[in-house]
Structure 1
Amino acid sequence: MKTLTQRTSSPFRYDIVGSFLRPDALKKGRADFAKNKLTHQELTELENFWIRDLVEKEIAIGLHAVTDGEFRRSYWHLDFMWGFSGIEHNVLTQGYLFHGEETRADSARVINKIRFVDHPFLKHFRFLKEIVGTRAQTRQTIPGPAQFFSELVRGENEKSLDAVYPNREDAYHDLIQAYHDFILALYAEGCRNLQLDDCTWGMLCDMNYWKNQSGGESNIQALQEVYLQLNNDAIADLPDNLVINTHVCRGNYHSTWATSGGYAPVSKVLFGKENVTGYYLEFDDDRSGDFTPLQDITDNKIVVLGLITSKRPKLENKSAIISRIKEASQIIPLDRLCLSPQCGFSSTEEGNILTEEDQWKKIALVKTIAEEVWG
């Protein structure tokens, strides 16, 4: 057998997407804080306790890159958006429409020029890095710029955006600059492993979903070019030793999903032109299509196959997963493939419908399979 490269930077052969199920005590603490039964300091101390506990479990199971589980967030994306100057936490008339379920209706809208001034995620990362030390790489997950922009034009939010930015190009410029400034500040805190989570491409893979979201009025190809510009320009001219990857999925809320369809409608732009090191891709069921669009991956980028579902507790068949990895290796060489769950376990604080024990069994299975396939 050919000797495979040992990976020393993200993505790793066995990996994770980022979020973990929130412990019940942490959920209760956040609910108590919302009712003014806990102070902000008391909530922070509670979050600190459970993040320390999580980090020890991540390191004990052998993960090479660890996160804080997104334990300080209610949403995987909105909390980050609310941290910028010019962005307001608002509530829309409708949440995101998932398969058989509607999410909470929180959102983010523009009320002034978008700027990075300071951001709470910098302090969050600082704490995580301190407790991880040199035992593993410390990964920061944030929504991608395209995801941010798509929120600013969702529903009635677009009117607010147009009021502040009559010229849409000015909005692109300020959003890109705010991201770039944040990333440089994060780098100064010691971050060398950044992940851009981005469901926008998954939405564009599902024409029925997109028509419901946009009224069918948008030019899909033109929108892909906007998304590409936002994502690439935000991460241009950054230090060479900052590894930036992206995760693309089709929605992950309370074990439900939002969109379906293979990657073919977006693969030439997303896989061919986005300037990231690797892609964490959802491939856990038939909704994700086959591996054919991976032929558009360029520049020796890494593909992390999300073949283990985070939505259901039942463990996958090891032999079946190995067979699928071999199938993917007919398109992307095995040395450029890795394995992870298809998404996080708790993209919002509700979490998916499985137990913490189930969650760790899933990660253990990812590791077992990866060690067998890659050594």
Structure 2
Amino acid sequence: MTQVYRADHCGSLIRPEKLRRARADFAHGRIDRDRLREVEDESILEAFELQRSAGVDIYSDGEFRRGFWLSAISEEFFEGMENEGIDYIRYPFLKGRDIADAALLVPPNPVVKGRLRLKKRITADEVAFLKANAPGPYKITVPSPVTLSRASYVEGISERAYPTWSDFFQHYTDLTAEEVSAIADDGVPYIQLDAPHYTRFIVPERRQQLTDLGIDLEEELATAIDAENRCLRAARKNGATVGVHICLGTFILGPQGPLGGAGAYDEEVVGRLLSELEADVFLMEYSDRAGSLETLRNAPKGKTVSLGIQNTRDPRVETTEEIQRKIETAARYVPLENLSLCPNCGFSGGAAETWLTEDVEKRKLEVLAETAHRVWN
């Protein structure tokens, strides 16, 4: 039976100041990689204590070995990719902005220029440290193939390696599935694929953006689901809990304010994702900036929906009572035993900036754990 973690979270935690400073120092050649590793280790151990004292049911390393949650998609791990500036397709609101130290504040923008080959395991160091030091069950997060930006395929350059975007996407999916399979072989108890880009299909305004690019929505969604399931099957082979995280995104340099990026959800597409994706648990945003909980009415039996009620962009700490009210609403559509709690997204929207303080982060996790333990005893 798959383990259900009632007080769940999305993995990413606020990078402490010393880690942000160390990463900047490493980027500018002021410290070596060994010193950066020491700071990462110290910070991860402190993150374990934060999670233990907050009372959550699952541990992560805060993704502290990554500059960004998307860092896995980069030339650091993939031969055939070269990082080139800012991805304005993914982040159009950054056009015309002068961003100091953009390499530390904006995720990599890899362009494929040759056949892809993994240079090294993406998560090997993360898994080894978690296995040796985590105080309890732990998770590893991996960007879903669905997060791969179309800006990574440039006509006139990329077709030398792949005739079409689809050929590139399918090969990248194969390599991601290999990494996920290796994580499962490592004995990781909980493997989570991060796929916020499904909101391109469930939020009407974002669907229109795809249509404007001339993309066939049905074909795109079917391709995404197929790719995701290839990775999910690789993840579950040794009995791990397998999850997919879907949210509206919290990139720190995006539209300001706690509600930036709000939108309704399409009930039909939500039901299709929950039915067709072969995950055990869906960590899905239902904060005040997201769609109605009524869109869960078509959720299939036997799958867990982790309600992303808390907003990691909003410094206000939600109360146990208001979270419970949302749980009660969700339970009209999904049995209580098939629900759990998580924040709407990871706490660190960017490596060197964040919406919240570490104290607010801890208080939100404490409220999340207190509510979960009260509701599910």
Instruction: Tell me the TM-score range normalised by the shorter chain.
Output: 0.7 to 0.9
Q: Tell me the SS of whatever aligns to 1:208.
A: helix
Mean Cα displacement is larger for which, 295-304 or 217-226?
Answer: 295-304
State the match for 1:362 in structure 2: 364
State the match for 1:195 in structure 2: 192
Distance 1:352 1:323 in 2: 28
Distance 1:280 1:166 in 2: 35
State the match for 1:236 in structure 2: 233
Query: Which of residues 18, 21, 26 is equivalent to 2:14?
Result: 21
Aligned amino acid, residue 70 of structure 1: E
Distance 2:108 2:82 in 1: 11
| Residues 112 and 152 in structure 2, CA contact (< 8 A), matched pair in contact too | no
State the match for 2:84 in structure 1: 90
- Structure 1 residues 41, 158: CA separation in 2 closer, same or farther (over 3 Å shift)? farther
Instruction: Render the CA deviation track for 1:288-315: whole Å, top value 9, x for unaligned.
Output: 1112221222241000011111111212
State the match for 1:138 in structure 2: 138
Query: Which of residues 292, 295, 298 is equivalent to 2:294?
Result: 292
State the match for 1:317 in structure 2: 319
Aligned amino acid, residue 360 of structure 1: K
| Residues 204 and 265 in structure 1, CA contact (< 8 A), matched pair in contact too | no
Determine whether 1:271 maps to 2:269: no
Determine whether 1:185 maps to 2:188: no
Instruction: Compute the RMSD of aligned alpha carbons.
Output: 2.6
Q: How many Å apart are 1:214 and its aligned residue?
A: 6.4
Query: Which of residues 13, 20, 35 is equivalent to 1:42?
Result: 35
- Structure 1 residues 265, 96: CA separation in 2 closer, same or farther (over 3 Å shift)? farther
Distance 1:233 1:155 in 2: 21
State the match for 2:307 in structure 1: 305
State the match for 1:73 in structure 2: 66
| Residues 84 and 119 in structure 1, CA contact (< 8 A), matched pair in contact too | no
Instruction: Give unmatched runs, 5+ long, in structure 1.
Output: 1-6
- Structure 1 residues 85, 222: CA separation in 2 closer, same or farther (over 3 Å shift)? same
Mean Cα displacement is larger for which, 287-296 or 48-57?
Answer: 287-296
State the match for 1:219 in structure 2: 216
Instruction: Render the CA deviation track for 1:115-146: whole Å, top value 9, x for unaligned.
Output: 335224212221122111xx311210111111
Q: How many Å apart are 1:229 and its aligned residue?
A: 1.0
- Structure 1 residues 235, 155: CA separation in 2 closer, same or farther (over 3 Å shift)? closer
Distance 2:54 2:96 in 1: 33
| Residues 96 and 104 in structure 1, CA contact (< 8 A), matched pair in contact too | no
Distance 1:335 1:101 in 2: 49
- Structure 1 residues 300, 126: CA separation in 2 closer, same or farther (over 3 Å shift)? same
Aligned residues: 362
Provide the TM-score with structure 1 as the length reference. Answer: 0.88
Q: How many Å apart are 1:169 and its aligned residue?
A: 4.6
Mean Cα displacement is larger for which, 184-193 or 63-72?
Answer: 184-193
Instruction: Render the CA deviation track for 1:137-169: whole Å, top value 9, x for unaligned.
Output: 121011111112xx1x13764654434211455
Identity of aligned residues (%): 23
Q: How many Å apart are 1:81 and its aligned residue?
A: 4.3
Instruction: Render the CA deviation track for 1:310-330: whole Å, top value 9, x for unaligned.
Output: 111212232222111111000
Q: How many Å apart are 1:217 and its aligned residue?
A: 1.2
Aligned amino acid, residue 223 of structure 2: V
Q: Tell me the SS of whatever aligns to 1:13.
A: coil
Q: How many Å apart are 1:228 and its aligned residue?
A: 0.5
Distance 2:325 2:31 in 1: 50
Provide the TM-score with structure 2 as the length reference. Answer: 0.87
Query: Which of residues 326, 340, 356 is equivalent to 1:338?
Result: 340
- Structure 1 residues 155, 164: CA separation in 2 closer, same or farther (over 3 Å shift)? closer
State the match for 1:251 in structure 2: 249
- Structure 1 residues 176, 310: CA separation in 2 closer, same or farther (over 3 Å shift)? same
Aligned amino acid, residue 271 of structure 1: L
| Residues 144 and 198 in structure 1, CA contact (< 8 A), matched pair in contact too | yes
Q: Tell me the SS of whatever aligns to 1:78.
A: coil
State the match for 2:53 in structure 1: 60
Mean Cα displacement is larger for which, 356-365 or 293-302?
Answer: 293-302
State the match for 1:326 in structure 2: 328
State the match for 1:171 in structure 2: 168
| Residues 80 and 121 in structure 1, CA contact (< 8 A), matched pair in contact too | no
Q: How many Å apart are 1:252 and its aligned residue?
A: 0.6
Q: How many Å apart are 1:96 and its aligned residue?
A: 1.2
Distance 1:246 1:195 in 2: 6
Distance 1:295 1:141 in 2: 28
Mean Cα displacement is larger for which, 89-98 or 266-275?
Answer: 89-98
